[in-house]
Structure 1
Amino acid sequence: MLFKKFAVFVVSLLIVACSSSDIDLAKKGDWHGIGYSDGINGRHARSFNELQELGQANQAEYEHGYVGGLEEYCNPNFAYQIGLNGQYYEGVCEGTKEAQRFRMEWQRGWNESN
């Protein structure tokens, strides 16, 4: 079961990595997609002004996508692999139910990657 969840996570990361750039998504009006991409990649949420630089931003759609992506990213079952891949953790999972476990698993992977 864990392998299946991990496979879904990896596939979702690949899809996001291969998706259109933020500018292309903004031109299409896909603010949800931009938010999801930021969340699933463990980035901090963008401010309204940062979104406006891409175009006529829909902040509600961006935030909805961001929360969805962040929920997937902050799964502690994948934190070890994120750290092992050398991805820096920006603290975006703090305040979530599994924040401490996520941080510990990420740190374990991070230590092994360096």
Structure 2
Amino acid sequence: MTDSKWLVLLTALLMTGCAGMDKSQCLTADWRTIGFEDGANGKPETAIATYRQECADHGVTPELNAYRLGHRAGSERFCTRVNGFNVGKRGTSYQNSCMPDLEAEFLPGYRDGKALYDLQRGLNFARAAVDKQHRLISALEQDIVSNTELLVADGLSREERVQLLYDIEMLKTELGNAINLLPALEHDAYLAEQAYIKAEQRLRDHL
């Protein structure tokens, strides 16, 4: 089966895989094709238990051997090192759908992809921390400006001006602490980015 025909087949079967099977579907099901779809989408062979339960009410029993043959063929599409890498890199969980002989090829790629996914998450977290710190600094600077403008406004009592002076000094202290912390956060983000870049290059070279 060519790649184009395979994609057309998966598209045609999408509704079957996403919804429960009614009586008509159970009666006309091509169990080898359904098995192929499940295998190609990384569903375990045990997925046939769901079809068995859905079709039991209609007096239909899935053809296990045909399903297994199709599932094996679909798994050969799914259980490759390259696809394992792509599945792991997306952060998609592996459902143990590959038979041992195919899993030996799939799992190394999946683990590498998952490692890269974890590094990407770490990088995103580090960048988010830097962005959050910049927003905090901007907010503190704005608060200082606003309180300083209030300080010179008419109609304030002495006590109110004293309180504003105190608030401004506290804001300045908090601003200084926030600014001092920023370089460390930026350095963490830089290290996370370098780790991701190096890992991506190293892992892709081994695919």
Q: Mind listing any 5+ residue stretches in structure 1 that lack a counterpart?
A: 1-7
When normalised by structure 2's length, the TM-score is 0.42
Deviations 1:44-102 (A, max 9, x none): 21276533223221112211111111111111122111111222112333521x53342
Distance between the aligned counterparts of 1:105 and 1:83, measured in 2? Answer: 8
When normalised by structure 1's length, the TM-score is 0.69
The residue type paired with residue 33 of structure 2 is G
Does residue 1:77 correspond to 2:82, yes or no? yes
Alignment size in residue pairs: 106
Match of 1:20 in 2: 15
Residue aligned with 2:54, SS: coil
Distance between the aligned counterparts of 1:49 and 1:15, measured in 2? Answer: 21
Q: Structure 1 stretch 17-26 or stretch 99-108: which is displaced more?
A: 17-26
CA RMSD of aligned residues (A): 3.1
Q: Mind listing any 5+ residue stretches in structure 2 that lack a counterpart?
A: 119-207
Q: Quick check: which one's helix share is greater?
A: 2
The residue type paired with residue 82 of structure 2 is N
The residue type paired with residue 12 of structure 1 is L
Does residue 1:109 correspond to 2:104, yes or no? no
Deviations 1:3-59 (A, max 9, x none): xxxxx49x7399359622242653531212221122112222127653322322111
Q: How does 1:85-104 map to 2 (within 5 A)?
A: 85-96=90-101, 99-104=103-108
Match of 2:50 in 1: 50
Does the CA-based 8 Å contact 1:40-1:72 persist in structure 2?
yes
Distance between the aligned counterparts of 1:93 and 1:77, measured in 2? Answer: 14
Distance between the aligned counterparts of 1:94 and 1:49, measured in 2? Answer: 18
Percent of aligned positions that are identical: 21
Q: Structure 1 stretch 43-52 or stretch 67-76: which is displaced more?
A: 43-52
